[in-house]
Amino acid sequence: MNTTVTVALAVGSLVVLVAAVALRLADRLGLPSLLLYLALGLALGESGLGVQFEDAELTQTLGVAALVIILAEGGLTTRWADVRRAVGPGLSLATVGVAISVGVTGAITVLLLDVSWGFALLLAAVIGSTDAAAVFAALRRLPLPRRLAASIEAESGLNDAPALLLVTTLGAFLTDSEAHAWWTLLAEVVVELVGGAAVGLAVGFAGAELLRRVALPLAGFYPLAMLALCVLAFSGATLAHTSGIVAVYLAGVVLGNSALPHRSASIGFAEGMASLAQIGLFVLLGLLASPGRLLDALGPALVVGGALLLVARPLSVVASLVWFRMPWTQQAFVSWAGLRGAVPIVLATFPLTLGVPGATAIFDTVFVLVVVFTLVQGWSLPWVARRLGIAAPVTPRDVDVESAPLEELDADLMQLTVPPGSRLHGVYLPELRLPEDAAVVLIVREGRSFVPDATTRLMRGDQALLVSARRSRAEAERRLRAVSRAGRLAAWRGETGAPTGAD
């Protein structure tokens, strides 16, 4: 085997292991993990172990591929009920908000740094979109109202397309290439968003129907197939000259909210792949950066970042959300939670590959800005949520039921875990009142497996296997959800067990 390949595999595996340990350290310190990954890349680079890497085009290509996996995971783990309530605010933030943010940030940059309008607007466009990886990682650890968190997540999943169009158009203008009029750019944004949404939804619904009807030979194929469908949505939309970024996110939302075989395992696989993509992406971006130049970029980064955080972002949020009756405290949190991360740094590679004058200064400024303001915002988000009084009380989670097909028996094997706070705790199995052709056949408690009987009670942390005729699976799931929410008297209390957000 080629020695170079062997060494690359060894280094790559060590990087992943070190990054995994660093993630544990980051959780204990409350430090955003992306900063540790960027630091790892810098440590491997020219000022550390001496690895020479200056291929901006390769970084851009791999960066986009990593973002596809990250956005797919974000869609797969997003609840459809939350998206329905947040699609309006999220779309407004992703379009109107980006435009206002870029314009205001660019104007302040021209005023304070004495640079050209073209350069200032390009820099503002690069940092104009929030980062999906940073947003998903930060917000899902906070007890926020669902509509609020979903609005910020939807924004991060949809605003990359407008920002990317702005970056490429302004880059073409600054390199004297063919540039588009403003109204043409606006039309392109609309076409890309609508077209990408159509492709993503089509692939998502068609893929869900396919996975429900086709019994794959190995359970491990289902996670691969689900992620492959998300990547297919991105590729199909991009080839159709629409937004692949929007398509992959929406395809993930549809697939993640469909009743598919091995759904929980598939989402867990996507989360692992997204973590691996984040590690590779941030380490690669750290390798591309040159520490010797970053100190010179600190001043401009603080000026531009301050303009964005304190002026442009609040104005864009108010203008975007004024129509949606969102309380001012929640608008203030949305303004502060506009986290920047990998996406702006990846977008900063586009001017490098286009040969835009001053592209290196843009990359260095964006790199420093992301590091500094991730520290400021990432650590302060829990405190800001508490000060604004918007932290929602922790509520018991719905029971998570996963199904696997038993084709020959026309039955489904379901798995559930009794979560903390669930009223399934203490319920005798007969009190579940499952359909006649459904039964709990095995319980795993504290590492010990046993076959239950009529005197067995469910306990917190129990893992249970159920077998149900396929025609009764939906009824069994509704009954389990109902008892989990309202206890053994769920029917008397009017609890139907409908999925969260269903009418």
Residue whose tokens read 């603080």: 302
Q: To the nearest 10°, the Cα dihedral for 457, 461, 467, 473?
A: 100
Q: Provide the domain limits for residue 145.
A: 57-388
Considering the chain, what percentage of its residues have pLDDT values greater than 70?
87
Domain count, the chain: 2
Q: Is 76 inside a domain boundary?
A: yes
Residue 284 parent element (H or E): helix 263-288
Residue whose tokens read 């459904």: 438
pTM surpassing 0.85?
no
pLDDT band at 276 (very low <50, low <70, confident <90, very high): confident
227 lies in the same domain as 138: yes
pLDDT exceeds cutoff 60 at 177: no
Between CA 212 and CA 235 the distance in angstroms is 23
Between CA 246 and CA 233 the distance in angstroms is 9
Backbone phi, then psi, for 395, in 5-degree steps?
A: -110, 155
418 lies in the same domain as 380: no
Quote the tokens at residue 334.
């949305």
240 lies in the same domain as 187: yes
468: region left, alpha or beta (phi > 0 left; psi from -120 to 50 alpha): beta
Of 327, 360, 388, the position where a domain reaches its end is 388
Using the 8-state DSSP alphabet, how is residue 465 labeled? Answer: E
Sign of CA dihedral 35, 139, 499, 492: positive
pLDDT in tens, 424-463: 988 889 888 899 889 999 999 888 899 998 888 898 889 9
Give the CATH number, domain containing residue 416: 3.30.70.1450
310 lies in the same domain as 417: no
Using the 8-state DSSP alphabet, how is residue 408 labeled? Answer: G
For residue 148, the model assigns a pLDDT of 86
Between CA 328 and CA 338 the distance in angstroms is 16
Quote the tokens at residue 478.
């509704």
pLDDT in tens, 43-62: 777 666 767 777 788 888 88
Neighbours of 99 (CB within 10 A): 18
Q: Is 252 inside a domain boundary?
A: yes
Q: How many residues does the chain have?
A: 503
Q: List Cβ neighbours of 166 (8 Å cut-off, separation of 6 or more).
A: 98, 102, 121, 125, 128, 185
Of 364, 388, 412, the position where a domain reaches its end is 388
191 lies in the same domain as 117: yes
Q: Is 7 inside a domain boundary?
A: no
For residue 503, the model assigns a pLDDT of 40
For residue 10, the model assigns a pLDDT of 78
Q: Specify whether the CB–CB gap between 93 and 303 falls below 8 A.
A: no
At residue 22, what is the residue type? A
The distance in angstroms from the start CA to the end CA of the chain is 60
Lowest mean pLDDT among 366-375, 386-395, 439-448: 386-395
Give the CATH number, domain containing residue 288: 1.20.1530.20
Residue 440 parent element (H or E): strand 438-445
373 lies in the same domain as 405: no
Q: List Cβ neighbours of 451 (8 Å cut-off, separation of 6 or more).
A: 441, 442, 443
283 lies in the same domain as 369: yes
Burial status of residue 490 (CB atoms within 10 A of its CB: 0-12, 13-18, 19 or more): buried
Q: Is 258 inside a domain boundary?
A: yes
If you average pLDDT over every residue of the chain, what do you get? 82
Of 388, 409, 433, the position where a domain reaches its end is 388
201 lies in the same domain as 133: yes
Strand locations in 80-181 (E)? none
Quote the tokens at residue 201.
């939804």
Between CA 365 and CA 187 the distance in angstroms is 30
pLDDT exceeds cutoff 80 at 76: yes
Burial status of residue 290 (CB atoms within 10 A of its CB: 0-12, 13-18, 19 or more): middle
